[in-house]
Structures are given as C-alpha cells and as structure tokens.
Chain A
Amino acid sequence: MTYPPGNPYGGQPGPGGNPYGQPQPGYGQPPPGYGQPSPGYGQPPPGYGQPQPGYGGPPQPAASPTGTTLNPRTLPDDDNVNPYVFCVSLNGDWFMSKGAMLAYYGDVRFEAVTEYSSVQGWVAARFSSPVYVQDWVVATGHGKVLIGDRGFDLNSYDLDDGNLTIKAGNLCAFSPQLELKQSIVPGFVTLIGTGKFIASSNGPVIFVEPPFRADPEALLGWADCPSPSVHHDAQWMTQNIRAMISGALGRASGEERQYDFTGTGTILLQSSEVAREDPAVLRLVESQTQLLTDSQAGSLGQRLIARAQQQH
C-alpha cells in the first residue's frame, strides 16, 4: 500500500528545509522511536493484556472479520491507521474539530474551547479565532484517539517554525504548540509555529508551486507564499464589465474566478470540488457587514432576499 501520496503528481515541494506540509513519510512505516511506548501510556502495566486474575479467561477468541484487530498496543503513535483514519497518541492536550473523534481508548475528556479557555489561559492565546471557536474542542488526558472526517483522506503535517494556511473545514486537529489564526481569505485559517496538525482532503493532496491559479473550491491551502489575490478571466471581464457597472456583481461565480498565487511557497490542492458547508463562513461574512453603512446594509439585505427567492 502506498500512502500518503508523497507527491505522486510530481509537484515537488522543493528541496529540503520545507517546514510545511510534507506528509509524514510513514504510513505503515513507523516514525523513529515507534515501538517504544511513551511513558505513561502504552506501557502496559504488568499483567495487562492477559486475562485478569479471577476473570474466567476470554470467552472466545472473537476472530476479527477485518483480518486485523486493533487495540491500544497495536494502534500507531501519531500515524495513519488507514488512509482515512489517524491515531493521535494523546498525552496532554490537543485541539480537535467537533465531530472528528471516531473512537478512543484511555482516559480522555473533551471540553469546548470556550469553556476550557476560561480555566486555562494559554488556550485563548493559542486559539485566536473567535469565529471558529464554537466548532472546536480541547481533548485532554492520556490515550489513543482515532479521528476521521467524512471518510476523506487524512494526512498529518509537521510545521517547523513555519506557517500554513488551510481551509477551515478540512482541518481536523492540531497540537497545542501551534497557534491558530484566522486568515484574511474567508473560510481559511493559518497555523503558525512548530507542531503537528491533521487535515483531510477529498482525494490525495496535490502540491504545486507558484505562479499558479487555483480554483477556489479545489484549493486546500498554501504555505509560505503570500495570500492569494482574486483573478477574473480577461474575456469574462470584458463581457461582463457592463453588467458589473449596473450592479450585478456578486452573482453565482463559476470557473471565471480563480485565486492567483505569486511569490515562493507551496500550494495544496485536493482533487475534488465538493466543499462542506462551513458554518463559520456565515458568522465571518456577517461580522464583516459592520463595514457597511445602514443604507448599504439595507440594499445588501434586499439582494440576498432576491437571491433566496430565485433559488426557490
């Protein structure tokens, strides 16, 4: 099995010193140090794994229908279980997207970020994005947590004093050493610092280098290069300039609108354009309407009503 993609599309993220987005070289290939259980967890206490004294022995071997049986000792440490499931070896705190948890072994508690930050001051400092705070929890404790996202491919990324901006709906979890900030581009968040995060992609991740224009739906994120500008197709511009002046700007966009990347860095793409509805986008756009004057807000409201009626 070959996984993770390891750039099957030739879009090499460039030679060494890439702090971003290099998916772990090791699906099925344990990272160095694997096999030595971290102290505290994974170190089975004496007699663990054998039937407890007094326990009448395992009732049956319970043959596994999948061929392999997973338990806390056979689950990998911070690695993929299969292309769609990642196992976090929890020893302390991790930020996790609500709903990303599939299952866990051990002693783990999940607290809403809003709740947790009032107790632990560092949380608010690490999670500086009020728009997304409702969608995240802090997992605390010791154990193995399996995370997944709609059956999408999951990859882990190691940041080494770097930054990477990613579609908020695709970010599943990140270690508390990283700092999360809201990107200027709506629907995206930026992770800064040194640590690990896990993100999903519909299909394998494709790495490309600027200059490059990306379809907004297929764009997964970018690292090290400046935030993109919006590019409109020249022909489309000429044809629609009259319409734009008459105030029809903001209609349903198609392929004519792209994100234009310049500078040096890496762009991450996914091979599908199916996006999840991100509840934070509504909050984000709503918060930006404060820029409008009252009369502007009124006419925006009328246009939104017209759009909603058109779709019905």
Chain B
Amino acid sequence: MALLTAHKRVLHADLQGDRIRAASGSMVAVEGNVEFTSAGMGGGGGLRAALKRAVAGESLSLMDCAGHGRVHLALDAMDVLVVDLAGDTLTVESEHILAHTEQLRLDVQFAGLRGVTSGQGLATTTVTGHGQVALVSEGPVMALEVAPGQDLVVDPDAYVGSRGQLSMNLVSGVSWKSLVGEGSGEPFSLRFTGHGLVLVQSSER
C-alpha cells in the first residue's frame, strides 16, 4: 500500500504498484517507474460534485501518480504534515492538500458564510475514509484542542483544517464600528465549539 512520509518540506510517496493523487505540479523528483496522469479536479467525481465546485469556488487540480518507486512532492517550500485517517473525516481547505492515498474520498462541503469573508471559497473540502492525506502549511501546523467550555477562535487565514464534532461560527473580532475607514485587521474570525481538533498554521499570509 502506498505510504506517505513527511520529510521536512518534502513529501515522500512510496508506491508499490498502486496510485496516489497529488496536487498538479507538485512533483519535484521521482525514483523508479511512476506514471503521471491528470486526474482533473478534486472534490469527488460526477456532475453533482462539479456543479458544487463551480458554485463554491473550491478548486483543487490533482494528478494521478501510479507505478513502483518513490515520488518527491513539494509546494512552495511549505511545511508538510501527514494525517492518518481511520474512517473519520478531516475538514480542510483545498489549497492545503498536497496528496492523498487512493482509498480516501474527497467531497465539497458548504461552509456557510465563512468562505465569503475569508475569500477562500464558499465551501471547504472533506476527506473521508481509511488512508493518509498530506497537508502543506506555512510554518508548522499546531493542533489546538476544542472542548465544551473551551472554545477556540481562529483567524480565517491561519485556519488549515479540523477534525471531530465541531461547529463553526463567524464572529467579528474587532468591533465593526471601529474598523470603518481603516484597513483590515481581524474583521472576522472563526469560532469553533464542540469537541475536536483545529489545525492552525503559523502564518496569516
């Protein structure tokens, strides 16, 4: 079975006759006999998914890597984190997905108003199944725990993804009135309540 290992800012994907999907243009080197084919957009196949993507603006261009050998993948020298999924769901901004193993299913989930304000699309991507997904981030990812009575507020640009039973609300951080006529700071933030983990990167771009 294909194995993903993070090696600093490069992802090693070891293939044994199977395939993985990776962000288009992320291949930096390859050892062995691996074939690359464009796999179209992520977020699930079919017309319904395509329509959702068109509405949501959540786009992710992927390629299939199949064969025997090791593929080295990287994006803009960003940090790489491999997340193991065992039947549960990871919610992630599509731009942070570097690669995932074949058995995982990607889908687009509407995220309400959040996308409107962060400018990252109206929806986020969910990754479900058994396998591995590799994420890229600016700076190392921190896993912040959310529990009842322990809400977390995150800057939309620092948000990478989340897992667990969480609900996300939009809050205005800086009082709205005081921002009139001034540049943006943290006009909107995401408040997470429930039980789970929120992945946050160390840069707000």
* Binding between chains A and B: yes
Q: Which A residues lie at the B interface, using CB under 8 A?
A: 48-49, 51-52, 55, 58-60, 62-66, 68-72, 81-82, 84-85, 98-105, 108-112, 114-116, 134-135, 137, 146, 148-151, 279
In-complex Cβ contact of A102 among B179, B183, B200 (8 A): B200
Query: Given A82-B202, A112-B175, A98 and B186 touching (CB < 8 A)?
Result: yes
* A151/B139 in contact, CB under 8 A: yes
* A65/B81 in contact, CB under 8 A: yes
* B196/A84 in contact, CB under 8 A: no
Which residues on B sit within 8 Å (CB–CB) of A135?
Answer: 183, 185
What is the CB-to-nearest-CB distance from A180 to chain B, in angstroms, rounded to a whole number? 17
What is the CB-to-nearest-CB distance from B90 to chain A, in angstroms, rounded to a whole number? 8
Cα(A63)–Cα(B164), bound, Å: 10
* B155/A112 in contact, CB under 8 A: no
What is the CB-to-nearest-CB distance from A137 to chain B, in angstroms, rounded to a whole number? 6
Cα(A49)–Cα(B143), bound, Å: 17
Which residues on A sit within 8 Å (CB–CB) of B64?
Answer: none
Which residues on A sit within 8 Å (CB–CB) of B202?
Answer: 82, 84-85, 102, 148, 151
* A85/B141 in contact, CB under 8 A: no
* A84/B148 in contact, CB under 8 A: no
In-complex Cβ contact of B163 among A62, A85, A100, A111 (8 A): A62
Cα(A310)–Cα(B203), bound, Å: 34
Nearest B residue to A103 via CB reads B154
Query: Given A98-B184, A137-B185, A103 and B200 touching (CB < 8 A)?
Result: yes
Cα(A100)–Cα(B202), bound, Å: 10
Query: Given A114-B182, A135-B183, A137-B185, A69 and B197 touching (CB < 8 A)?
Result: yes
* B175/A111 in contact, CB under 8 A: yes
Q: Mark B168-200, 1 if CB is under 8 A from A, else 0.
A: 000001110111001111100100000111111
